[in-house]
Amino acid sequence: MADTQENQIDNKAFTEECHKVLMAMSDALYAIGGKWKLMIIIAMGRGNKRFTEIQRQVAGISARVLSSELKELEMNGFIIKKVENGYPVTIEYELLPYSYTLEEVVAAMTKWGMQHREKVKAEMSAEK
């Protein structure tokens, strides 16, 4: 009985904690989910600042999509667009400090991605 009550309490707390975690994950996916945002941030973190540089580095992204992703990233405080007047005008994108709060996420995902690639490769050669 006491056991049953405790279990109910535990389950309730557990469910609430689960909701919190799921909500956090949902928030994260909303902000940085999708096919490109993290990859753009990685490329920029490696020193790519110009539109064309980023596009070359992030294989497969089109100008239209890169343009709209950069706008979203700017709106959400991850990057800033800098326009230098001159001949010709020079445009550079830079990471803002908020991008660096993603370092752990990026590190964890890339590490996992590398392990996963190894696993898939091993399976490929295993099955004939």
Partner DNA sequence: CTGTATCCTGGATGATACTG
Partner DNA sequence: CAGTATCATCCAGGATACAG
Stretch that binds DNA, among 3-11, 15-23, 54-62, 99-107 (CB under 7 A): 54-62
Q: What is the spatial distance between Cα 91 and Cα 79, in angstroms, rounded to a whole number?
A: 13
Is the preceding peptide bond at 88 cis, omega within 30 degrees of 0?
yes
The answer to whether 40 and 55 have CB atoms below 8 angstroms apart is: no
CB of 79 to DNA, least distance (A): 11
Which residues, including other chains, have CB under 8 Å from residue 71's CB and lie 6 or more apart? none
Q: Is 35 helix (H, G, I), strand (E, B) or coil?
A: coil
Give yes or no for residue 66 binding a copy of itself (CB under 8 A).
no
DSSP secondary-structure letter at 108?
H
CB of 75 to DNA, least distance (A): 13
Q: What is the spatial distance between Cα 22 and Cα 19, in angstroms, rounded to a whole number?
A: 5
**Binding string, residues 10-49; x marks residues near a copy of itself by CB under 8 A:** ----xx-xxxxxxxxxxxxx-xxx-x--xx--xx--xxx-
Stretch that binds DNA, among 4-12, 39-47, 61-69, 110-118 (CB under 7 A): 61-69
Give residues in contact with a copy of itself (CB under 8 A).
14-15, 17-29, 31-33, 35, 38-39, 42-43, 46-48, 57-59, 98, 101-102, 104-117, 119
